[in-house]
Amino acid sequence: MSGKPKLYYFNGRGKMESVRWLLAAAGVEFEEEFLETRDQYEKLLQSGFLLFQQVPMVEIDGMKMVQTRAILSYIAAKYNLYGKDLKERALIDMYVGGTDDLMEFISMLPFLSAEDKEKQLAVIVQKATSRYFPAYEKVLKDHGQDFLVGNNFSWADVHLLEAILMVEEKKSDVLSGFPQLQAFKARTSSIPTIKKFLEPGSQRKPVPDDKFVETVRRVLCMYYDVKAN
């Protein structure tokens, strides 16, 4: 056992990507085990390692953690990315809740029917530009600091950068009305641990493709189209 956290998931973004981002931002090396076959998954289920029979699962500090939010919260707190007190934590939790909702629209995309995909893309851009980005733009403008909370780098900043890049992959000029976010993106991308994660060869996963969708469907026996919100 290496002592490094070990991530169990598909070889793709999905719900694990935010965990990869956060560990990377914290400068923590981690290992990954990729689910490729139904057999592997059933073995994992039988092992009792998956508390609610689901992945993501992260082995960390002797725990087999499941539930993405719980995992992220633990990592954030452990590596001092969760604010200095309860109120800062509250702000971080609120901001992360927003970026989470936004990224959820995007992560659903590959699993929607062709006609829903088109509609969903429009929803993503609309929500990003009229609900979420304006909120973070205002936070940054109001306090004029480099980071979202407490003038200190936190989980909220990592999560926001991840969300920005994901939306930009769908619409490259989406930040055009948001000067604060543009500056935020540039600044945060140059933080050494994040810069490293953004370079080729890191454990960052690419935009989900058909192979990823096929693998997820096969392993989870999920052969229906997810319904858009």
Partner 1 sequence: MSGKPRLTYLNGRGRMEPIRWLLAAAGVEFDEVYLETKEQYDKLIKDGFLLFQQVPLVEIDGMKMVQTRAIMSYIAGKYNLHGKDLKERALIDMYVEGIADLMQMILMFPFSPPDAKEKNLESIKERATNRYFPVFEKVLKQHGQDFLVGNKLSWADVQLMEAILAVEEKLPTVLSGFPQLQVFKNKMSNVPTIKKFLQPGSPRKPPPDAHYVETVLKVFKK
Nearer to partner 1, 53 or 190 (CB): 53
- Minimum distance, C-beta of residue 82 to partner 1, in the bound complex (Å): 10
Our CB check for partner 1 shows the closer of 1 and 86 to be 86
Nearer to partner 1, 87 or 211 (CB): 87
| Shortest separation between residue 110's beta carbon and partner 1, angstroms | 21
Cis geometry, peptide bond prior to residue 56 (ω within 30 degrees of 0): yes
Q: How far is the CB of 94 from partner 1 (least distance, A)?
A: 4
- Give whichever of 122 and 186 is closer to partner 1, judged by the CB atom: 122
Distance of closest approach, residue 69 Cβ to partner 1, in angstroms: 5
Rounded least distance, CB 209 to partner 1, Å: 27
Residue with Cβ nearer partner 1 (167 or 194):
167
**Euclidean distance between CA atoms 111 and 103, whole angstroms:** 14
The binding site for partner 1 (CB under 8 A) comprises 51-53, 61, 63, 65-70, 73-74, 77-78, 86-87, 89-91, 93-94, 96-98, 101, 131-132, 135
Q: How far is the CB of 104 from partner 1 (least distance, A)?
A: 12
* Least spacing, CB of residue 171 vs partner 1, in Å: 20
Non-local (6+) Cβ contacts of 194 within 8 A are 24, 25, 158, 161, 188
Cα–Cα nearest to 21, from 213, 216, 205: 205
Instruction: Name the residue nearer to partner 1 (CB basis): 4 or 211.
Output: 4
Q: Which is nearer to partner 1, 52 or 114 (CB)?
A: 52
